[in-house]
Amino acid sequence: MNSQIKIKKRGEGFKNFLKKYGYFIAVGIIVLAVTLSIILTNGVKTSVDEASNLDMATKEPVEVGSVGLNFALPMENCEVVHDYSRDALIFNESMGWFETHKGVDLKSNNSKVYACESGEVIKVYTNTLEGTVVEIKHDGNITTKYSSLDSNVLVKVGDKVKKGQEIGIASNSAGEEVQTGAHLHFEILNGDNQVNPNDYLSLSNK
C-alpha cells in the first residue's frame, strides 16, 4: 500500500514537472528540429552546387567552341589507343604506375601528324618523357599540343600554320609512353588546363 502511494506521488510529480517545464521542452525540441533541418538542407545544397560546378567544367569547351574553332583530326583514320582520363587513374605500363591521362593517344597506319586548326607554333622542344613536342596556339586561348613526335618536325616556333598542315611524324620518342609504340599523344589546353579532346573532335568513329 505504501509503495503504491509512492508511485502515484512520483507520477504526479512528473505531471507537475511537465506543467512547469513542458513549454520549455517543446520549444527546445522545435529549435533542435529547425537547426537539424537547416544543417541537412545546406548539406544537400552544397553537394548540388558541386555537381553543377563539375557540369560547368565539362561544358567549358563548348563555350570556347563558340569563338569559331573547328578542329580536324590530327591524324588520318586514327584509332584511340589510350583515352583521356582527367580523374580516374589508369595504369601506365611504360612507367609502371597509375596516373591520370590528360590527352589521347592516337595511332594510324599513316603516321603523319597534322595541325588540327590554324594557328601559330609557340613551342618546339624535346625531352626524355614527352619526346619531341609541338604546341600551336589558336584563337580563344586554346592550344593544341602534339607529343611523341619524331625529332624531324616540319615547323618551327613563330610559324603560322593552316588547319590540316602536316607538322611531323608520330613516333615512340616519349619515354613515359614508349611501351605504346609509335603514336601521337595529343592534348588540347584551355589556358593552362588540359581539356577533353573528345569535346572538340569526333574520335570515337575513327
| Interface residue list for Zn ion (CB under 5 A) | 105, 177, 185
CB nearer to Zn ion: give 104 or 167: 104
Q: Least CB distance from residue 120 to Zn ion, whole Å?
A: 24
CB nearer to Zn ion: give 117 or 177: 177
Grid coordinates belonging to 148: 611523341
Strands annotated E in the chain: 79-82, 85-92, 97-101, 104-107, 112-114, 119-127, 131-137, 142-149, 160-161, 166-169, 184-190, 193-195
| Residue closest to Zn ion when measured from CB atoms | 185
User: Number of helices and strands (H, E) in the chain?
Assistant: 1, 12
Closest CA to 142 of 48, 65, 206, 27: 65
Q: Least CB distance from residue 130 to Zn ion, whole Å?
A: 9
Cβ count within 10 A of residue 156: 9
Residue located via cell numbers 605504346 = 180
Q: Least CB distance from residue 153 to Zn ion, whole Å?
A: 18
Grid coordinates belonging to 169: 611524324
Q: Least CB distance from residue 94 to Zn ion, whole Å?
A: 10
CB nearer to Zn ion: give 120 or 206: 206
CB nearer to Zn ion: give 138 or 185: 185
Q: Least CB distance from residue 76 to Zn ion, whole Å?
A: 19
CB nearer to Zn ion: give 92 or 118: 92
